[in-house]
Amino acid sequence: MASPRPRADGGLTMADVAPVLVAACGNAMAGDDAFGPAVAAALRRESPAHCQVIDLGMAPTALLDHLQGRAALIIVDAAEAPDAGDDLMEFDWDSPARPALVRQEQLSTHGLSIAAQIELARAMGLLPEVVKLIAAPVGEAQLGRPMDAAARLVERAAARVRALAAELARASAGDVS
């Protein structure tokens, strides 16, 4: 994906960036916390249209590098929801029912968490209008363990991201400046 080019006023046009950004987060070496990176890998095997997929791994601070000019952001991550059963979860990011991400405030060592990144983006006027979370519920994510319950949800999550990205891209198509 080429880097977006600035307008004369310094902003970016929707024509220069994919309208939907999918940002996957998680530690590929920590059990079900590998859910995000696994979904990113599945998406790369069959890339969704109108969509850029980035695997932030354990460095969510890179999220802010990619937000400008987007119509929508989809976060893919593991979520702290041990009582939520084993089904895929989907929330608006600002929904009060949204569960916390695994180690939400501690995922990034001496960096900024995804939640803080999103709030900073909002404060800087960079946050897309639509922000969604697609998450696998996990009980714990222990370092050195392979994925367990979340592994069964990877392909379903990738399919849902593709469908959601297409919906969001169609919805934004009328807003291209």
Partner 1 sequence: MSDSNKNSERTIRVGALARVEGEGALHLSMRNGRVEQVRLEIYEPPRFYEAFLRGRDFREVPDITARICGICPVAYQMGSCHALEKAMGVFDQIDPPIRTLRNLLYCGEWIESHILHMFMLHLPDFLGYESVITMAADHGPVVKTALKLKKLGNEILAAVAGRAVHPVGVCVGGFYKAMEPARAQALLPEVRSALDEMCNLTLFLAEKIEYPDFERSYEFVALCPENEYPMNLGRIRSNRGLNVDQEEFGQAIEERHVPHSTALHSIIKGRGAYMVGPLARLNLNHEKLHPRAAELLPKVCAAVKRDLPWRNNFLSLPARALETVHALAPAADILERYQPPPRPFVPITPRAGSGGHGTEAPRGICWHHYRTNADGTIASAGIIPPTSQNQMTIEEDLWQLAEQITDLADDQACQRCEHLIRNYDPCISCSVHFLKFSRSFDGEPAPAR
Strands 89-92 and 130-138: antiparallel
Please state the closest distance from residue 69 (CB atom) to partner 1, in A: 14
Residues numbered 61-120 forming contacts with partner 1, rule: CB under 8 A: 61-62, 64-65, 103, 105-113, 116, 119-120
Backbone φ and ψ of 2, nearest 5°: -70, 155
Tokens standing for 105?
């405030």
Residue 54's identity, in one-letter code, is I
Query: To which residue do tokens 């979520």 refer?
Result: 79
Q: Which of 14, 50, 80, 145 binds partner 1 (CB under 8 A)?
A: 145
Give 111-177 as a DSSP string.
Answer: S--HHHHHHHHHHTT-S-SEEEEEEEEES---TTPPP-GGGGGHHHHHHHHHHHHHHHHHHHGGG--
Q: Which of 13, 129, 142, 167 binds partner 1 (CB under 8 A)?
A: 142
Please state the closest distance from residue 103 (CB atom) to partner 1, in A: 7
Tokens standing for 40?
């990113």
Q: Which of 17, 27, 147, 169 binds partner 1 (CB under 8 A)?
A: 27
Residue 29 binds to partner 1 (criterion: CB under 8 A): yes
Nearer to partner 1, 22 or 169 (CB): 22
Residue 127 binds to partner 1 (criterion: CB under 8 A): no
Euclidean distance between the first and the last CA atom of the chain, given in angstroms as a whole number? 19
Please state the closest distance from residue 89 (CB atom) to partner 1, in A: 22
Please state the closest distance from residue 51 (CB atom) to partner 1, in A: 18
Where along the sequence are the contacts to partner 1 (CB under 8 A)?
A: 27-30, 34, 37, 54-62, 64-65, 103, 105-113, 116, 119-120, 123-124, 141-145
